[in-house]
Amino acid sequence: MRILIDSGSGCCNGVGRAISTAESYLADHSELFSLGAIVHNDAEIQRLAALGLRTVGYADLPGLRGSTVLIRAHGEPPSTYELAKEAGVSLIDCTCPVVLALQRKIAAKYAELSPVGGTVLIFGKRGHAEVNGLVGQTEGHAVVVESMADLEEKLSSGAISPAHPLALFSQTTKDPEEFAALAAKLRKDNPDVEVFDTICRHVSSRHRALREFAATCTVVVFVCGRESSNGKVLFELCRSVNPRSYKIESADELPAGIFRPDDIVGICGATSTTRWQLEKVAASI
Protein backbone atom coordinates (compact mmCIF):
# COMPACT_ATOMS: atom_id res chain seq x y z
CA MET A 1 0.00 0.00 0.00
CA ARG A 2 1.25 3.47 -0.93
CA ILE A 3 0.37 6.62 1.01
CA LEU A 4 0.48 10.04 -0.65
CA ILE A 5 -0.04 13.42 1.02
CA ASP A 6 -1.41 16.03 -1.37
CA SER A 7 1.31 18.68 -1.74
CA GLY A 8 -1.26 21.44 -2.21
CA SER A 9 -3.26 20.72 0.94
CA GLY A 10 -2.77 22.65 4.14
CA CYS A 11 -3.80 26.03 5.51
CA CYS A 12 -4.30 28.79 2.98
CA ASN A 13 -2.07 31.85 3.28
CA GLY A 14 -4.67 33.92 5.12
CA VAL A 15 -5.35 31.34 7.81
CA GLY A 16 -1.66 30.46 8.09
CA ARG A 17 -0.85 34.14 8.59
CA ALA A 18 -3.42 34.47 11.38
CA ILE A 19 -2.10 31.38 13.16
CA SER A 20 1.53 32.47 12.94
CA THR A 21 0.59 35.95 14.18
CA ALA A 22 -1.15 34.43 17.19
CA GLU A 23 1.85 32.19 17.89
CA SER A 24 4.26 35.13 17.70
CA TYR A 25 2.16 37.22 20.09
CA LEU A 26 1.78 34.36 22.56
CA ALA A 27 5.54 33.77 22.56
CA ASP A 28 5.77 37.05 24.54
CA HIS A 29 2.35 37.19 26.24
CA SER A 30 0.37 34.76 28.35
CA GLU A 31 -2.99 35.34 26.69
CA LEU A 32 -4.62 36.48 23.46
CA PHE A 33 -8.31 36.60 22.59
CA SER A 34 -9.63 35.57 19.16
CA LEU A 35 -12.96 36.99 18.06
CA GLY A 36 -14.51 33.76 16.86
CA ALA A 37 -12.63 30.55 16.11
CA ILE A 38 -9.34 31.43 14.41
CA VAL A 39 -9.78 28.39 12.17
CA HIS A 40 -12.59 25.85 11.66
CA ASN A 41 -10.41 23.10 13.01
CA ASP A 42 -10.90 21.83 16.58
CA ALA A 43 -7.52 20.11 16.81
CA GLU A 44 -5.64 23.29 15.86
CA ILE A 45 -7.79 25.38 18.18
CA GLN A 46 -6.92 23.05 21.05
CA ARG A 47 -3.23 23.33 20.22
CA LEU A 48 -3.39 27.12 20.20
CA ALA A 49 -5.50 27.16 23.38
CA ALA A 50 -2.62 25.40 25.13
CA LEU A 51 -0.45 28.38 24.14
CA GLY A 52 -2.97 30.86 25.57
CA LEU A 53 -5.39 31.66 22.74
CA ARG A 54 -8.95 32.17 24.02
CA THR A 55 -11.95 32.23 21.67
CA VAL A 56 -14.55 34.90 22.51
CA GLY A 57 -17.73 36.31 21.00
CA TYR A 58 -19.07 39.82 20.45
CA ALA A 59 -20.90 39.81 23.78
CA ASP A 60 -17.58 39.23 25.57
CA LEU A 61 -15.85 42.37 24.24
CA PRO A 62 -17.19 44.85 26.87
CA GLY A 63 -15.62 42.70 29.58
CA LEU A 64 -12.20 42.62 27.92
CA ARG A 65 -11.25 46.29 28.31
CA GLY A 66 -7.49 46.69 28.08
CA SER A 67 -7.02 43.28 26.44
CA THR A 68 -5.80 42.40 22.94
CA VAL A 69 -8.20 40.76 20.50
CA LEU A 70 -7.31 39.14 17.18
CA ILE A 71 -9.51 39.62 14.12
CA ARG A 72 -9.29 36.34 12.22
CA ALA A 73 -8.69 35.88 8.49
CA HIS A 74 -12.43 35.81 7.70
CA GLY A 75 -12.67 39.55 8.37
CA GLU A 76 -15.35 41.58 10.15
CA PRO A 77 -18.01 44.19 9.29
CA PRO A 78 -17.40 47.87 10.20
CA SER A 79 -19.69 47.51 13.22
CA THR A 80 -17.19 45.17 14.90
CA TYR A 81 -14.44 47.79 14.83
CA GLU A 82 -16.83 50.31 16.38
CA LEU A 83 -17.77 47.81 19.08
CA ALA A 84 -14.11 47.10 19.85
CA LYS A 85 -13.37 50.82 20.13
CA GLU A 86 -16.27 51.32 22.54
CA ALA A 87 -15.12 48.30 24.58
CA GLY A 88 -11.58 49.67 24.88
CA VAL A 89 -9.78 46.64 23.43
CA SER A 90 -6.71 46.63 21.19
CA LEU A 91 -7.01 44.81 17.88
CA ILE A 92 -4.59 42.68 15.90
CA ASP A 93 -6.23 42.64 12.49
CA CYS A 94 -5.47 39.41 10.61
CA THR A 95 -8.11 39.84 7.93
CA CYS A 96 -6.83 37.98 4.87
CA PRO A 97 -5.56 40.50 2.28
CA VAL A 98 -7.76 38.82 -0.34
CA VAL A 99 -10.84 39.21 1.87
CA LEU A 100 -9.90 42.80 2.72
CA ALA A 101 -9.64 43.70 -0.95
CA LEU A 102 -13.04 42.07 -1.55
CA GLN A 103 -14.62 44.05 1.30
CA ARG A 104 -13.39 47.29 -0.27
CA LYS A 105 -14.69 46.32 -3.72
CA ILE A 106 -18.12 45.52 -2.31
CA ALA A 107 -18.27 48.74 -0.29
CA ALA A 108 -17.37 50.80 -3.37
CA LYS A 109 -19.87 49.01 -5.61
CA TYR A 110 -22.64 49.34 -3.02
CA ALA A 111 -21.99 53.10 -2.80
CA GLU A 112 -22.35 53.24 -6.59
CA LEU A 113 -25.47 51.06 -6.96
CA SER A 114 -27.47 51.99 -3.89
CA PRO A 115 -28.55 55.48 -5.12
CA VAL A 116 -29.91 53.99 -8.38
CA GLY A 117 -31.78 51.07 -6.81
CA GLY A 118 -29.14 48.48 -7.69
CA THR A 119 -28.34 45.35 -5.71
CA VAL A 120 -25.11 43.73 -4.57
CA LEU A 121 -25.32 39.92 -4.67
CA ILE A 122 -22.92 37.68 -2.75
CA PHE A 123 -22.56 33.99 -3.56
CA GLY A 124 -21.79 32.43 -0.19
CA LYS A 125 -23.00 30.67 2.89
CA ARG A 126 -25.51 32.74 4.83
CA GLY A 127 -24.22 33.39 8.34
CA HIS A 128 -20.61 32.45 7.53
CA ALA A 129 -18.10 34.77 9.23
CA GLU A 130 -16.60 36.00 5.96
CA VAL A 131 -20.02 36.58 4.43
CA ASN A 132 -21.17 38.52 7.50
CA GLY A 133 -18.17 40.79 7.04
CA LEU A 134 -18.98 41.27 3.35
CA VAL A 135 -22.66 42.01 3.94
CA GLY A 136 -21.58 44.52 6.57
CA GLN A 137 -19.91 46.58 3.85
CA THR A 138 -23.39 47.25 2.42
CA GLU A 139 -25.06 48.23 5.69
CA GLY A 140 -26.73 44.83 5.63
CA HIS A 141 -28.42 45.32 2.26
CA ALA A 142 -26.52 42.81 0.12
CA VAL A 143 -28.47 39.72 -0.97
CA VAL A 144 -26.75 36.42 -0.18
CA VAL A 145 -27.26 33.60 -2.70
CA GLU A 146 -26.32 30.12 -1.51
CA SER A 147 -27.06 27.99 -4.58
CA MET A 148 -28.69 27.89 -8.00
CA ALA A 149 -32.00 26.87 -6.39
CA ASP A 150 -31.72 29.81 -4.00
CA LEU A 151 -31.04 32.20 -6.91
CA GLU A 152 -34.01 30.90 -8.89
CA GLU A 153 -36.29 31.29 -5.86
CA LYS A 154 -35.12 34.87 -5.29
CA LEU A 155 -35.65 35.73 -8.94
CA SER A 156 -39.17 34.27 -9.00
CA SER A 157 -40.15 35.96 -5.74
CA GLY A 158 -38.82 39.34 -6.83
CA ALA A 159 -36.17 39.50 -4.11
CA ILE A 160 -33.74 39.96 -7.00
CA SER A 161 -34.94 42.05 -9.93
CA PRO A 162 -33.06 41.69 -13.25
CA ALA A 163 -34.60 45.02 -14.30
CA HIS A 164 -32.33 46.86 -11.86
CA PRO A 165 -28.50 47.07 -11.85
CA LEU A 166 -26.90 43.98 -10.33
CA ALA A 167 -23.36 43.19 -9.23
CA LEU A 168 -22.37 39.62 -8.33
CA PHE A 169 -19.47 38.82 -5.99
CA SER A 170 -18.40 35.58 -4.32
CA GLN A 171 -17.22 34.45 -0.92
CA THR A 172 -13.52 33.71 -1.47
CA THR A 173 -13.78 29.96 -0.80
CA LYS A 174 -16.66 28.96 -3.08
CA ASP A 175 -16.68 26.58 -6.05
CA PRO A 176 -15.61 28.43 -9.25
CA GLU A 177 -17.84 26.30 -11.48
CA GLU A 178 -20.92 26.93 -9.37
CA PHE A 179 -20.14 30.65 -9.37
CA ALA A 180 -19.84 30.63 -13.16
CA ALA A 181 -23.23 28.89 -13.46
CA LEU A 182 -24.89 31.54 -11.26
CA ALA A 183 -23.33 34.31 -13.35
CA ALA A 184 -24.60 32.71 -16.57
CA LYS A 185 -28.11 32.42 -15.13
CA LEU A 186 -28.18 36.10 -14.18
CA ARG A 187 -26.83 37.20 -17.56
CA LYS A 188 -29.69 35.45 -19.38
CA ASP A 189 -32.14 37.97 -17.92
CA ASN A 190 -29.73 40.89 -17.62
CA PRO A 191 -26.72 40.88 -19.99
CA ASP A 192 -25.41 43.97 -18.20
CA VAL A 193 -25.06 42.34 -14.79
CA GLU A 194 -21.58 43.00 -13.41
CA VAL A 195 -19.74 39.84 -12.38
CA PHE A 196 -16.68 40.00 -10.15
CA ASP A 197 -14.85 36.70 -9.79
CA THR A 198 -13.59 37.16 -6.24
CA ILE A 199 -12.81 33.52 -5.45
CA CYS A 200 -9.30 33.23 -4.02
CA ARG A 201 -6.83 31.98 -6.64
CA HIS A 202 -5.43 29.53 -4.08
CA VAL A 203 -8.92 28.09 -3.63
CA SER A 204 -9.82 28.00 -7.32
CA SER A 205 -6.58 26.22 -8.20
CA ARG A 206 -7.21 23.75 -5.36
CA HIS A 207 -10.42 22.57 -7.02
CA ARG A 208 -8.66 21.63 -10.23
CA ALA A 209 -5.61 20.12 -8.49
CA LEU A 210 -7.72 18.15 -6.01
CA ARG A 211 -9.76 16.57 -8.80
CA GLU A 212 -6.55 15.34 -10.38
CA PHE A 213 -5.17 14.12 -7.05
CA ALA A 214 -8.34 12.21 -6.14
CA ALA A 215 -8.40 10.57 -9.57
CA THR A 216 -4.85 9.22 -9.17
CA CYS A 217 -5.67 7.47 -5.86
CA THR A 218 -7.75 4.37 -5.21
CA VAL A 219 -8.97 5.72 -1.88
CA VAL A 220 -9.06 9.27 -0.50
CA VAL A 221 -8.91 10.32 3.15
CA PHE A 222 -10.01 13.94 3.50
CA VAL A 223 -9.09 15.63 6.78
CA CYS A 224 -10.99 18.72 7.97
CA GLY A 225 -12.94 20.21 10.84
CA ARG A 226 -16.69 19.61 10.99
CA GLU A 227 -17.42 23.35 10.73
CA SER A 228 -15.27 23.98 7.66
CA SER A 229 -17.47 25.18 4.77
CA ASN A 230 -14.55 24.91 2.40
CA GLY A 231 -13.92 21.37 3.66
CA LYS A 232 -17.46 20.30 2.84
CA VAL A 233 -17.17 21.65 -0.70
CA LEU A 234 -13.74 20.12 -1.37
CA PHE A 235 -14.70 16.75 0.10
CA GLU A 236 -17.75 16.51 -2.14
CA LEU A 237 -15.50 17.35 -5.06
CA CYS A 238 -13.19 14.46 -4.11
CA ARG A 239 -16.12 12.10 -3.72
CA SER A 240 -17.52 13.06 -7.13
CA VAL A 241 -14.22 11.94 -8.67
CA ASN A 242 -13.47 9.03 -6.34
CA PRO A 243 -16.43 7.28 -4.61
CA ARG A 244 -13.99 5.73 -2.11
CA SER A 245 -13.53 9.06 -0.33
CA TYR A 246 -13.84 9.40 3.45
CA LYS A 247 -14.00 12.59 5.52
CA ILE A 248 -12.50 12.57 9.01
CA GLU A 249 -11.44 15.14 11.59
CA SER A 250 -8.63 13.03 13.06
CA ALA A 251 -6.97 9.62 12.72
CA ASP A 252 -9.25 8.27 15.46
CA GLU A 253 -12.18 8.53 13.05
CA LEU A 254 -10.69 6.32 10.31
CA PRO A 255 -13.32 3.69 9.43
CA ALA A 256 -12.24 0.09 9.92
CA GLY A 257 -11.53 -2.11 6.93
CA ILE A 258 -11.49 0.56 4.24
CA PHE A 259 -8.00 -0.16 2.93
CA ARG A 260 -6.74 -2.90 0.59
CA PRO A 261 -3.14 -4.14 0.32
CA ASP A 262 -2.72 -2.67 -3.17
CA ASP A 263 -4.33 0.73 -2.42
CA ILE A 264 -2.88 4.10 -3.28
CA VAL A 265 -4.13 6.15 -0.33
CA GLY A 266 -4.40 9.88 -0.94
CA ILE A 267 -4.51 12.18 2.08
CA CYS A 268 -5.72 15.74 1.58
CA GLY A 269 -7.63 18.47 3.37
CA ALA A 270 -9.33 21.85 3.43
CA THR A 271 -7.79 25.32 3.49
CA SER A 272 -8.20 25.19 7.28
CA THR A 273 -6.39 21.86 7.69
CA THR A 274 -2.81 22.06 8.98
CA ARG A 275 0.07 20.09 7.53
CA TRP A 276 0.81 18.41 10.86
CA GLN A 277 -2.70 16.91 10.89
CA LEU A 278 -2.26 15.39 7.44
CA GLU A 279 1.09 13.92 8.48
CA LYS A 280 -0.42 12.51 11.69
CA VAL A 281 -3.16 10.73 9.73
CA ALA A 282 -0.58 9.35 7.29
CA ALA A 283 1.53 8.03 10.18
CA SER A 284 -1.53 6.40 11.74
CA ILE A 285 -2.48 4.65 8.48
DSSP string of 19-67, one letter each residue: HHHHHHHHTT-S-EEEES-SSS-HHHHHHHHHHTEEEE-GGGGGGGTT-
Name the residues annotated as catalytic: 130
How far is residue 173's CA from residue 99's CA, in Å, rounded to a whole number?
A: 10
Element at 99 (helix H, strand E): helix 97-113
Q: Buried (b) or exposed (e) across 25-46, using 16+ Cβ within 10 A?
A: bbeeeeebbbbbbbbbbebbbe
Residue 199's Cβ-side half-sphere holds a number of Cα atoms within 13 Å equal to 19
169 three-class SS: strand
The C-alpha atoms of residue 241 and residue 3 are separated, in whole angstroms, by 18
| Cα–Cα dist 278/250, whole Å | 9
Q: Which helix (H) or strand (E) holds 267?
A: strand 264-269
How many angstroms separate the CA atoms of 113 and 193, rounded? 12
List Cα–Cα distances, 104 to 111, 112, 246, 255, in angstroms.
11, 12, 38, 45
Q: How many helices (H) and strands (E) does the chain have?
A: 10, 12
> Count of CB atoms within 10 A of residue 97's CB?
11
Nearest to 74 by CA among 138, 18, 120: 18
